[in-house]
Amino acid sequence: MTISDFRLGFGAMRLTGWDRPADPAEAIAVARHAVELGVDFIDTADAYGLGANEELLAQALHPYPAHLVIGTKAGQCRPGPGEWVPLGRPEYLRQQVELSLRRLRVDRLDLFQLHRIDPEVPAREQFGVLADLVREGKAARVGLSEVSVEQLALAREQVEIASVQNRYNLADRRHEDVLAYCEAAGIAFVPWLPVANGALPQPVTEVARELGATPTQVALAWLLHHSPVMVPIPGTSSRAHLAENVAAREITLTAAQLAKLG
């Protein structure tokens, strides 16, 4: 079951700050423009903007187009700006799911991902909540974030996993084994930080110059070429930058350019 036919999603985190968007009207316009450009997967989380991110997406897009998948996450709380703490107690996850349903104005989440595995809670208990959510009809699909192959395999003993969201980009390929597992199992791989905050290797700039493209576009094009299950989610608060990111789908990399990128 795919989460995106378009294969290039939108990471909504930057639409809100620590608590609320600085310019709500522009943030709403960016979210709407993503859908206008063909994006069919939007990634958010309960901790983005302390829930304001989900509320903004509902304000911008509800009632949602039938083809649009909105994925949200819980399992990592944010006690302060720049602070992230795994929190996977079953009662907490259930509470956050109920809040996400309310904020997104839906009866069932398109995709719910465990934001982090809490090392203080048995993993099977956290995966059990995912299975319960599917059985109860509160989530159509479930996924995981920042997991190893072993953790992914353990989760799949309890529930079907639709997606894995791990950090991955041209400069950071530590999860190549997880990507390979996802390919074999037909699981969507959603790389977060897909363009490494611009900290890309020098060959990216060279290839971008050859193509008349930006380094960001080349980095996204490489991800799309690298694996058929890849669904990058570049984020931005700018409509112009959003359009630039989506245009990366039209870039074709030659064999020589792919070899240069490694």
Each residue's pLDDT tens digit, 154-187? 999 999 999 999 999 999 999 999 999 999 999 9
pLDDT score of 247: 98
**Which secondary structure element, helix H or strand E, spans residue 155, and what is its range?**
helix 149-156
Single out the residue of 241, 199, 238, 195 nearest to residue 216, CA to CA: 195
Single out the residue of 78, 219, 93 nearest to residue 144, CA to CA: 93
With a pLDDT cut of 70, the percent of the chain lying above it is 100
Single out the residue of 65, 70, 72, 66 nearest to residue 51, CA to CA: 72
pLDDT in tens, 9-68: 999 999 998 888 889 999 999 999 999 999 999 999 999 999 999 999 999 999 999 999
Give the single-character DSSP code of 19.
S
Dig out the tokens for 90 from the structure: 């079953």
Could you tell me if 189 and 166 are in contact, meaning their C-beta atoms sit under 8 angstroms apart?
yes
Q: Which residue blocks in the chain are alpha helix, DSSP H?
A: 24-36, 52-61, 90-104, 123-135, 149-156, 176-185, 202-211, 215-226, 239-246, 255-261
Could you tell me if 17 and 155 are in contact, meaning their C-beta atoms sit under 8 angstroms apart?
no
Dig out the tokens for 216 from the structure: 């960001």
pTM above 0.85, yes or no: yes
Residue 140, pLDDT above cutoff 70: yes
Dig out the tokens for 163 from the structure: 């997606």
**Which secondary structure element, helix H or strand E, spans residue 225, and what is its range?**
helix 215-226
pLDDT in tens, 216-245: 999 999 999 999 999 999 999 999 999 999
Could you tell me if 88 and 121 are in contact, meaning their C-beta atoms sit under 8 angstroms apart?
yes
92 is catalytic: no
Q: Phi and psi at residue 65, in whole multiples of 5°?
A: -60, 145
pLDDT score of 20: 87
Q: 10-190 has which CATH code?
A: 3.20.20.100
Q: Phi and psi at residue 26, in whole multiples of 5°?
A: -70, -40
Amino acid at 187: I
Could you tell me if 141 and 111 are in contact, meaning their C-beta atoms sit under 8 angstroms apart?
yes
* Mean pLDDT estimate for the chain: 96
Dist. CA 141–CA 126, nearest whole Å: 15
Q: Which of 48, 64, 168, 181 is catalytic?
A: 48
Amino acid at 12: A
Residue 1, pLDDT above cutoff 80: no
pLDDT in tens, 182-210: 999 999 999 999 998 888 999 999 999 99
End-to-end CA distance of the chain: 30
Residue 143, pLDDT above cutoff 60: yes
Question: Which residue has tokens 């350019």?
Answer: 257
pLDDT score of 255: 97
pLDDT score of 133: 98
**Upper half-sphere CA count for residue 208 (Cβ side, 13 Å):** 15
Single out the residue of 184, 128, 178, 137 nearest to residue 155, CA to CA: 128
Dig out the tokens for 179 from the structure: 């990507």
Burial of 60 from C-beta contacts in 10 A (0-12 / 13-18 / 19+): buried
pLDDT score of 18: 83
Domain boundaries, the chain: 10-190
Burial of 135 from C-beta contacts in 10 A (0-12 / 13-18 / 19+): exposed
